[in-house]
Amino acid sequence: MNYRFDFAVLLPHWEQFAEGCWLTLRLSAIAVAIGLAVGLATVLAKRASVPPLRWLAETYIETIRNTPFLVQVLFIFFGLPSLGISLTPNTAAVLALSLNLGAFSAEIIRTGIESVPRGQFEAGAALGLSPLQTFRHVVFKPALRTVYPALAGQFVMLLLTTSIVSSISAEELTSVAQNVDSATFRSFEVYIVAALLYLAMSTIFSTVFKAIDRLYFSYPTK
């Protein structure tokens, strides 16, 4: 093998990589906030006594979970303009990521709620609390403790999934790597750097999530 590794050629492009990482983090953070809200609303709709709401929630979850994320991204960015709805690449990316996370987080949250003993729901009702108040004051914390590891894993997966939105020219890390590769023709070095940056970001987030788990959700030991 006569290939000569040359990572120095990438140094002039460090600002592009930094901007790509920053946009990746921004897209992830916004999508997590919106996706969690969508997921929680979907769970409440699925548990509602109104059949149309339950049907809409179940249809949304099954549609998102059983179609490729790339197809969802392409539909939002290229399909919606046919209906007169044009979105920028970044906006389309956030919408696709949020809807995707919303469906998966809804099922995770539902599992957490169902893990709470039925007696706690009955206790809330006995105290005169509404179903929403019971969820907020009685059910939410133990349910969140149960599903927090799964949600944290889903958030890290979302961070890595942002690479797919490069297909619609959102200038996140993978898109930047493709541009730098085209400019330098050093594919091996470019994608090694991109992979290491993704690894660094996901490791940092995993460490932070584990710290939060220990601080707020672990049962005290005697």
Q: How far apart are CA 219 and CA 222, in angstroms?
A: 10
**CA atoms in the 13 A half-sphere facing the CB of 97:** 32
Helices first, then strands: H and E counts in the chain: 9, 0
Tens place of pLDDT for every residue, the chain, 222 residues? 688 889 999 999 999 999 999 999 999 999 999 999 999 999 989 988 889 999 999 999 999 999 999 999 999 999 999 999 999 999 999 999 999 999 999 999 998 888 888 777 777 778 777 777 777 777 777 888 888 999 999 999 999 999 999 999 999 999 999 999 999 999 999 999 999 999 999 999 999 999 988 888 765 544
The total number of structural domains that make up the chain: 1
- Domain of residue 145 covers 25-169
- Could you tell me if residue 65 is inside a domain? yes
Rounded to two decimals, the pTM is 0.89
- Could you tell me if residue 197 is inside a domain? no
Q: How far apart are CA 36 and CA 28, in angstroms?
A: 12
CA 165 to chain centre: 13
Structure tokens at 162: 């942002």
- Could you tell me if residue 182 is inside a domain? no
- Could you tell me if residue 96 is inside a domain? yes
- Could you tell me if residue 145 is inside a domain? yes
- Could you tell me if residue 203 is inside a domain? no
- Could you tell me if residue 206 is inside a domain? no
Phi-psi map region of 167: left, alpha, beta (phi>0 left; psi -120 to 50 alpha): alpha
- Could you tell me if residue 216 is inside a domain? no
| Predicted local distance difference test score (pLDDT) of residue 222 | 45
CATH of the domain at 115: 1.10.3720.10
Torsion of CA 217, 209, 66, 30, to 10 degrees: 110
Torsion of CA 70, 157, 105, 56, to 10 degrees: 0
